[in-house]
Amino acid sequence: MTSQRRWRLLVTEAADGATNMAIDEALWRGRQAGTSPPTLRFFAWAPPTVSLGYGQPLGRDVDVDACRALGVGLVRRPTGGSAIYHDGPERELTYSVVATAADLGIGPDLLETYQWIGRALLRGLQALGAPAELVPERPPAGPAPAFCFARTGVFEIEAGGKKLVGSAQRRQGESFLQHGAVLLGVDEPRLRALFPTTRDPLSTLTTLEAALGRRPSFDDVASALAEAFENEHGLDLRPAGIDDDETERVDRLVSERYASPAWLAASA
């Protein structure tokens, strides 16, 4: 094993979509500037929220009226990909990784980064007992679907041939932000209501509850994944919070971007 590299382990309380996405971008901008350490973060959502990909149109593929009726938030992510329904901590753990290629000890290739993160996620999920597999590189079939879990991407994770973890990344230069949803369970009626144009959204996804025959807790999954990142990559994860400069950046990003109707309506 190589010498350990010190990273921050950040576990935040469940928050609304604007706050969660502002935290992720604040950590990313801090890493770009060299003022924030490489960070592995685990978090949840309150209220449950649909997040749109950075360049995904806000159209008919997500039922905005159903979101309002069900008390589901709606936010645009700083990363790409397709829409995801993020449930509360009883049904989902969301992770994010903020780092540079040098922090990982690899080259700047995007797929290499995906694989690096995927290997750690895979190790943690297998430690929980899930029959998880890392999907090898393969060409996508057709245009990107509106719903993230409708198709498994390169170096994402499946169990029993169905998607278990959905991830998205955005990078600038050497630095990147990647985050993804680990499904502990699923609210089937709500998922169908939120994605009316996706034919049977349940047919392509699975959950840890289905894979294990029980639903593990948010804390159990977070612990397994943190240990896996340490063991797979020789990291020294140090629990820590968000500093004052990052907090100021979060507040600014919430008001200027992620809580803004204009940001939600726009697409890159």
Say if residues 219 and 11 touch (Cβ distance below 8 Å).
Answer: no
Catalytic residue (choose from 148, 208, 222, 254): 148
> Whose CA is closest to 88, among 181, 9, 151, 158?
181
Name the E strands within 16-174.
39-43, 49-52, 73-76, 84-86, 92-100, 132-134, 157-159, 162-172
Beta bridge partners of 192: none
Tokens of 194: 């939120």
Spatial neighbors of 41 by CB under 8 A, at least 6 apart, are 9, 10, 11, 12, 23, 24, 27, 95, 96, 97, 98, 179
CA–CA separation, 43 vs 57, rounded Å? 25
Report the C-alpha gap between 70 and 64 in whole angstroms.
10
Contact between residue 208 and residue 130 where contact means Cβ atoms under 8 Å apart: yes
What are the E-state strand segments in 12-161?
39-43, 49-52, 73-76, 84-86, 92-100, 132-134, 157-159
Q: Are 149 and 159 in contact (CB under 8 A)?
A: no
Asked if 148 is an active-site residue, the reply is yes
Q: Does residue 232 contact residue 184 with C-beta atoms inside 8 Å?
A: no
Nearest to 186 by CA among 172, 169, 166: 166
Q: Which residues are known to be catalytic?
A: 148
